Amino acid sequence: NAGVMQNPRHLVRRRGQEARLRCSPMKGHSHVYWYRQLPEEGLKFMVYLQKENIIDESGMPKERFSAEFPKEGPSILRIQQVVRGDSAAYFCASSRRTGMGETQYFGPGTRLLVL
């Protein structure tokens, strides 16, 4: 049973380019969460999605960032016109369902470096 998959594992972009991060949840999981981790910091919630729906995007910057989880295929976190401050590790997590105490399993992360 494969765990949460993320690709690419490392991504280098120049300022102004676009970054696309992909996340495939564990088999049987329909809930996906994206978190951002800055160096020496904890993980910060960005967005929570179910298939074809954004449930909570309260942690996501209003501009340049968007996320989707289509009916088929992985969830995608898209960052347009990247800036150096976007450099971070981006983790996605998945769970079977939502509600009290539902375990979230994390992927290996995508480390984005903006030059």
Q: Which is nearer to other proteins, 1 or 14 (CB)?
A: 1
Q: Which is nearer to other proteins, 41 or 52 (CB)?
A: 41
Burial of 110 (0-12, 13-18, 19+ CB in 10 A): buried
CB of 30 to other proteins, least distance (A): 12
Angle 108-94-2 from CA coordinates, rounded to 5°: 60
Q: Which is nearer to other proteins, 7 or 17 (CB)?
A: 7
CB of 8 to other proteins, least distance (A): 15
Residue 47 forms beta bridges with which residues? 34
Report which DSSP code applies to 87: -
CB of 49 to other proteins, least distance (A): 11
| Residue 111 to residue 108: CA distance in whole angstroms | 9
Name the phi and psi angles at 96, rounded to 5.
-70, -40
CB of 66 to other proteins, least distance (A): 18
Site residues for other proteins per CB under 8 A: 4, 31, 33, 35, 41-45, 48, 55-56, 59, 91, 95, 98-109
